[in-house]
Chain A
Amino acid sequence: MTKQSPQQPKDESRRKFLKYSGTALGGVVVGGVIGGIIGTNRSKSGPEGAVPPEATETPQSPQSQDYNQALMFFSQGQFQTVEAAAERIFPKDDNGPGAKELGVAFFIDHQMAGAYGFNAREYMTPPFYKAEATQGYQLTFKRRDLLALGLDSLNEYSQDKHQNTFAKISPEQQDEVLTAFEKDEVNLKGVPGLAFFTILRNLTLEGVYADPLYGGNKNMAGWKMRNYPGNQMSYLDLIEKEEFIQMEPLSLHDHLQLS
């Protein structure tokens, strides 16, 4: 299955890229990537230099501190709860890391601290009425409030059913609790269980698969498990290939060139 094409000199790749991007065309090029992006880490991989996949690895690297891993929104207790819940939604298994190792809880924390947590680009003007199922989300809660209250109710429900906080009950019990929320059987603190569960699930999957710049998908391990190549500039020479091509993913960080 794995296709490995020979590593080619960087110059060739650069020349091709210039050609594709239109920079080498005559006349006025209106579109086209020019300037900053050219000459970035193209030799790493990509169409001309697809490299063999690495075995799924543990992403934790003790070599450097990740100063991004600190809290912008959650309390430490909330963080532990959300981390435990996210891990059940996307657990570690033979395929590779789960949400915890991927930094998903940091991703969720950072998202709630910003525009998305405040529903900044959504219509939050009253009045709020009870909606039909076809009319979508009509809660007065901002996402950050829904999440924080939802985590509280997750703990309250766990206490009630299993005499401990969510992070401290067994994985089987955690699944039971989450299932009750998913089935909309829980309505504590004014938080509809399903609404909370849905947002928690979506945020978890975003944290697994969003570009690592947002704090999750640590070391692109979410992408690697899925053979998703991330941010490649061109598949022009590969799109017609019959065989499945695995390549080392690239992130947006690999494309940043500031000088």
Chain B
Amino acid sequence: MANKLPKVPVVIVGMGWVGGIIAAELTKAGHHVVGLERGKSRSTQDYYHVHDELRYASRYELMQDLSKETVTFRNTEKMRALPMRSYGSFLMGDGVGGAGVHWNGQYYRFLPYDFQIRTMTEERYGKNKIPKDMPLRDWGITYDELEPYFVKYEQMSGISGPQELPDHVGKMSKPFATPPMKTSPGMKLFTDAATKLGYHPYIIPSANLSQDYANPDGIERAACQYCGYCERFGCEYGAKADPVVTVLPVAQKSGKFELRTHANVTGIVHDGKKATAVQYVNTLTGEQFEQPADVVVLASYVFSNVRLLLMSKLGKPYNPKDDTGSIGRNYAYQVNGASTSAYYEDRQFNMAMGAGALGSSLDDFNGDNFDHGDLKFLHGANIRFTQTGLRPIQYQPSLPGKPKWGGEFKQSTLHNANRILGVSGQGASMPNRYHYLDLDPEYKDSLGLPLIRLTFDFMEQDVELVKFIAGKTKEIADQMGATRTEMNDVIKQYNIVPYQSTHNTGGTIMGSDPATSVVNSYLQMWDAENVFICGASNFPHNSGYNPTATVGALAYRTAEGIEKYIQKGGSLV
């Protein structure tokens, strides 16, 4: 039977960005916190030999071990969901720091439009603009309300970015913590072309430091070396902000934080109104524990937040048939695929060099920054050129329609390795009534617990978005002085095999209506006042951006909500 442990004030499930931020904030405020992490501990010393594409990128060294737990997937309810047996479409984090260790560091605050998307869409285009099966929702918080929390994340992690951003993105009350990243020749070509076309390009705000930086907590970190090993890798310099080199040391220094690794949480104990404890298994010894707590925080990214609630029967599961319940609804993703490749026969670029967040982008066709009146989709995409460091196993630039192996393939990939600049759109993903997460009826994890099941496909909205954004990428690429350009403007059925994006969202969405959302604007659960759930699982839709900025801001907001809750001694905050 489970070992019952002494009660603690706060227990956090998952030690990535969200868990780390909340642990740091609450311990600084004097609260005792226990952090549970199913994976192992990590430090920058682990990454001295990290420049190993095979081990980290192709063999997923830092990701969740799928032999123990994966997800199942189907495009529609008519299909039988099958397990994702090996990695493809997205990569799930594991271990201290979570996916915050192996992200690229691209930092974008979501747009003011994102937080009030339903209201603003209806105001501008009328109610009929939103398709019947698209449960578009305001977030229950405005950009202005969330703004101070973005600032907190930026100062903590030392975000490097331009002094000024275009008017059509959210206003900043405080400039970025450090100056923007350096400008590579490819960025210059993109910026010049976009400017010539009347667009508003800017250097991508980056969590890879442009210079040495000391944050308000006294944490000092060194500048990025542009070594080209960010996404799927840990940073040996600590230049890329991750929880291990920013917030967790602050929590640890407080003396009020206890981190337990190899602690896989399997359930929340509750009486239907409040949680009393979490149950976890030590993955090394198999021992079971029950950790009572006054406050329970779910801090995994998306899937484990939803899965834990469903397994624990806490909250009302979403049912797409009658559109009731809330746990698991509004699963969304990222709509990539719109892109144009610019080929240069007369020059080569240093494409092996780069940083995860090195690049330039524009938002002229993101959010509602352009007129959707005659368009068959909502929202848009951040259009960008990035130079993240191209590595030779994963990057095989053979030409479309040409052989994928043999002499011609070899010649072509060697020739093109440093001759292609890509302009691409990172598209927003709108929710759909039939896209959701629930528990798989058949497949189990290594402990015998049900896997999370994912039902998702690309819709007409996505096809139209990709076609439109692709045209814009081509327009820009055509101005970049290339020998020729090739556009991709087609997106097909969602396929879990090729890697696309780790920006999964939804499942425990925030909102102002307890009937259709899971948490309030402090990420406090409507149905259990001492349970806080934070992650991209809170997003009612996904924007044309990377999610970490908004997840980070929500984590600071959650920490404040928990403090208020503790001070008030109960009830919703």
B507 within 8 A of A: no
A135 within 8 A of B: yes
Distance of A29 Cα from B418 Cα, bound (Å): 36
Main secondary structure of the interface of A (DSSP, over half): loop
Q: Is the CB of A33 within 8 A of B44?
A: yes
List residues 130-164 of chain A with CB under 8 A from any CB of chain B.
Answer: 131-138
Chosen A-B contacts, 23 in total, with CB atoms closer than 8 Å, are: A20-B222, A20-B223, A22-B221, A25-B212, A30-B44, A30-B249, A31-B238, A31-B245, A116-B59, A123-B84, A131-B82, A132-B79, A134-B497, A136-B88, A205-B396, A206-B393, A211-B52, A235-B228, A235-B354, A238-B353, A239-B358, A255-B48, A255-B49
Q: Is the CB of B66 within 8 A of A122?
A: yes
Q: Is the CB of A90 within 8 A of B410?
A: yes
Q: Is the CB of B44 within 8 A of A32?
A: yes
B119 within 8 A of A: no
The size bracket of the interface on B is 35 or more
A6 within 8 A of B: no
Main secondary structure of the interface of B (DSSP, over half): loop
The smallest C-beta distance from B42 to any residue of chain A, in angstroms, reads 12
Residues in A whose Cβ lies below 8 Å from that of B423 = none
Q: Which residue of B lies closest to A3 (CB)?
A: B350
Distance of A214 Cα from B52 Cα, bound (Å): 10
B324 within 8 A of A: no
Q: Which residue of A lies closest to B71 (CB)?
A: A123
Distance of A182 Cα from B409 Cα, bound (Å): 15
The smallest C-beta distance from B189 to any residue of chain A, in angstroms, reads 11
- Contact bitstring B206-241, A, C-beta under 8 A = 1, else 0: 000000101000111111111110000001111100
Residues in A whose Cβ lies below 8 Å from that of B182 = 239-240
A188 within 8 A of B: no
| Known contacts A22-B222, A29-B221: A121-B184 contact under CB 8 Å | no
Q: Which residue of A lies closest to B229 (CB)?
A: A231
Distance of A134 Cα from B498 Cα, bound (Å): 9
Q: Is the CB of B48 within 8 A of A33?
A: yes
| Known contacts A205-B393, A222-B392: A210-B54 contact under CB 8 Å | yes
A129 within 8 A of B: yes
Distance of A129 Cα from B73 Cα, bound (Å): 13
The size bracket of the interface on A is 35 or more
| Known contacts A29-B220, A31-B235, A239-B350: A20-B405 contact under CB 8 Å | no
- Which of the candidate stretches A7-15, A61-69, A73-81, A241-249 sits at the interface with the other chain? A241-249
Residues in A whose Cβ lies below 8 Å from that of B411 = 93, 95
Q: Is the CB of A245 within 8 A of B494?
A: no
Distance of A10 Cα from B52 Cα, bound (Å): 25
Residues of chain A having any CB pair with chain B under 8 Å: 1, 20-22, 25-33, 35-37, 88-91, 93, 95, 98, 115-116, 119-125, 127, 129, 131-138, 175, 178, 182, 201, 204-206, 208-211, 213-214, 222-223, 225-236, 238-242, 244-245, 252, 255-256
Residues in B whose Cβ lies below 8 Å from that of A21 = 222, 237
Q: Is the CB of B54 within 8 A of A211?
A: yes
B443 within 8 A of A: yes
Q: Is the CB of A22 within 8 A of B220?
A: yes
Q: Is the CB of A136 within 8 A of B227?
A: no
Q: Is the CB of B237 within 8 A of A33?
A: yes
B51 within 8 A of A: yes
Distance of A27 Cα from B253 Cα, bound (Å): 15
B512 within 8 A of A: no
B352 within 8 A of A: yes
Q: Is the CB of B53 within 8 A of A252?
A: no
Q: Is the CB of B410 within 8 A of A91?
A: yes
The smallest C-beta distance from B213 to any residue of chain A, in angstroms, reads 10
